[in-house]
Structure 1
Amino acid sequence: MGKQATEMLKGTLEGIVLAILAGRSAYGYEITAWLRDQGFDDIAEGTVYALLVRIEQRGLVDVEKVPSDKGPPRKVYSLNARGQEHLNDFWRTWSFLAERIEQLRTQVSPPQRQGE
């Protein structure tokens, strides 16, 4: 993924993670693995874990500690009502921006350079 795509992803990753959690509860590594399976190869686990801490602190998710066969209990995150509201706002904003950007892309021709 190029630098521009990485920067755009940073601005939308919270919404993407909330959308994943709207579908099912998951722990950090599961979320990271799913993102990588979807082609987001450059996302570091640390980025996802830091985001999970932030959305937990903001009260957007519920957290349950679940025993693990491979070490300490896992924190499993699930979207709560406040998180769902936040996700709905994200989708409204995403739709607005996507429509305007597509409109811009299709209706505005790039300026011509002198001599062309």
Structure 2
Amino acid sequence: MKNTERKDLFPGALEMMVLQTLSGQPLHGYALVQHIQRNSNDLLQVEEGSLYPALQRMLKSGLVKADWGVSSTGRRVRIYEISEAGAKHLAQEVRSFERMLEGIRLVLSPVKP
């Protein structure tokens, strides 16, 4: 992706990606960033300045839980885990996103005679 191209995510996209990632396993913030970047084939790059405020919002709203742990490099890190409420929220958001994507697909598809 060229540096001049916009990479902004739509509202809620980061939250969905974080919750989906955490549904696989608990991770610390840097590992979340790396997972999203790697699994998007480097199309998405999450800035730490966006991730950590989002994680704090999700903690406050009960979508994720966090405990202190130690990273593979021996650093003290906060490990995030999806909560039951977070799993329910993720399912609802994915359904809503899929409906929106279907609507966009219908609008963008060629007009049938």
**TM-score bin (small chain):** 0.7 to 0.9
**Structure 2 counterpart of 1:46, from 46, 49, 54:** 49
2:16 maps to 15
SS where residue 76 of structure 1 aligns?
A: strand
Give me the TM-score of the superposition, normalised by structure 1.
Answer: 0.79
Unaligned 5+ segments in structure 1 are 110-116
Q: Deviations over 1:27-68 (max 9, x none)?
A: 000001112222245421221111111101111111111134
Instruction: Give the structure with higher Rg (CA).
Output: 1
What percent identity do the matched residue pairs reach? 26
1:113 maps to none
Unaligned 5+ segments in structure 2 are none
Larger helix proportion, structure 1 or 2? 1
2:94 maps to 91
- How far did residue 107 of structure 1 move? 4.2
**Count of aligned pairs between the two proteins:** 105
Task: Quote the Cα distance in structure 1 between the aligned partners of 2:74 and 2:65.
Answer: 23
The farther-off stretch of 85-94 and 44-53 is 44-53
2:53 aligned with 1:25: no
Task: Quote the Cα distance in structure 1 between the aligned partners of 2:91 and 2:101.
Answer: 15
